[in-house]
Structure 1
Amino acid sequence: MELTLNNGVTMPALGLGVFQSPPEQTTVAVEAALATGYRHIDTAAAYGNERQVGEGIHNSGLDRAEVFIETKVWVSDYGYDQTLHAWDKAAGKLGVDYLDLFILHQPAPDRFEKTIAAYKALETLLGDGRVRAIGVSNFMPHHLKQLLESTDVIPAVNQVELHPYFTQPDVQAADAGHGILTQAWSPIGGITFYPGWGEDRKNVMADATIGAIGQKHSKTPAQVMLRWHLQQGRSAIPKSTNPARIAENFDVFDFELSADELAGLDALHTGRRSGPDPDEAREERFAMVIPEA
Structure 2
Amino acid sequence: MADLDARLNVFRPDLADERLKGVVEAKRFTKGKLRQASQVLAVHPEPDIDSGMLTQYLFGETVEVFEENDGWAWCQSGDDGYVGYVDAAGLAPSIIDCTHEVRVPRTYVYVEADLKSPTFGFLGICSRARVVSVEGRFSQIEMRGSEDGGWIFTDHLAALDDPALDFVAVAEQFINTPYLWGARDGTGLDCSGLIQMSLRRAGHKAPRDSDMLATSVGDVVTGWQGKLQRGDMVFWTGHCGIMVDADRLLHAHATAMLTTVEPVQTVIDRIQKIESRDVLTVRRL
Question: TM-score normalized by structure 1?
Answer: 0.27
Counting helix residues as a fraction of each chain, which structure ranks higher?
A: 1
Which has more radius of gyration?
2
Question: TM-score normalized by structure 2?
Answer: 0.28
